[in-house]
Amino acid sequence: MLPLQIRQLAVCIDNKALLHNIDLTLADKGVSILMGHNGAGKSLLLRCMHGLIEPAAGSLQWAGIHATDINSRHRQAMVFQKPLMLNRSVAGNILYVLKLRNKPKDRLQQHLQTAELESQSRQSARSLSGGEQQRLAIARALACEPEVLFLDEPTANLDPEATQKIESQIHHATGKSIKVIMVTHDVAQARRIADDVVFIHKGAITEHTKAKTFFTTPESKQAHDYLAAYVKPV
C-alpha cells in the first residue's frame, strides 16, 4: 500500500481548522510514531489516514488510491484507544472478523496464541482486563490481515507488563511486513519501537525524522521542548 502521500491536508470540525498544511510521505515499512501534546491533532490525523474522516482540503493517498476508497480501507485495520469489545466471547470477537473478511476459521488459534489469550477464549470479551481487551483488539485487527495497522495510544493506562505484551504484538505485526502507524505519549516506548517519528504541534507537522535523530537531536523547537519536559525531573 505504501507510500502514503499527504499533500496540503486540512481538517476542519465545526468550522475550526484542527489540522492544516499537512505534508507527509510515509514510504518505509516498520513503525511510524505520531507524537505531540494533547489536542495537537495526532488521533485526528490517524483517523484521516485510515479514511474515517474526509479532509476539508488537500489529498491523502495510499499508493495513489484515495484514503476513503473502500479498496484502500479493506487493506488497513485500526485499534482505538478505548477498544470496542463485541458482546460475545474472546474467540467470538476474532471469529467475527474472520467471517467478515472471508478468512479461514482455523486461523483463530494462531491469533489467540499471538495475543496470549488461548486460556480465555470462551470468556466474555467484556470481562477481560484493560490490557487483555487491548490485546484482543489488536488480535482482531490483525485477523483482518492488514497491510497497515493504526494504533491509537494502545498502551495508555496499562502497566509495564501489559505494555510489554502489546509491544510484542506490534513486533509480531512488523515481522509480517505490516506497516504500523501509532500514536503514543510514552517517549520511552517510542524510543523502543519507533523507526521514524512524526511530531505534530497545534495541528501542523513540525518534524518528521528517523527515530534516532528525533530522540538525540530534534530539529524543531517544539519537539525539543516536548522531549525536555519528558526527561526533566519533577
Pick from 96, 121, 167, 202: which binds other proteins (CB under 8 A)?
96
Please tell me whether residue 124 binds other proteins under the rule CB under 8 A.
yes
Write out the DSSP string of 100-148. Answer: HTT--GGGHHHHHHHTT-GGGTTSBGGGS-HHHHHHHHHHHHHHT--SE
Q: How far is the CB of 142 from other proteins (least distance, A)?
A: 13
Please tell me whether residue 84 binds other proteins under the rule CB under 8 A.
yes
Write out the DSSP string of 32-76. Answer: EEEEESTTSSHHHHHHHHTTSS--SEEEEEETTEETT-HHHHTTE
- CA distances from residue 16 to 19, 20, 40, 56, 125 in whole angstroms, order as listed: 9, 10, 13, 11, 38
Please tell me whether residue 78 binds other proteins under the rule CB under 8 A.
yes
Please tell me whether residue 204 binds other proteins under the rule CB under 8 A.
no
Q: How far is the CB of 234 from other proteins (least distance, A)?
A: 35
Please tell me whether residue 215 binds other proteins under the rule CB under 8 A.
no
Please tell me whether residue 105 binds other proteins under the rule CB under 8 A.
no
Please tell me whether residue 46 binds other proteins under the rule CB under 8 A.
no
Positions touching other proteins (CB under 8 A) are: 47, 50, 52, 70, 73-74, 76-78, 80, 83-84, 86-88, 96-97, 100, 124, 144
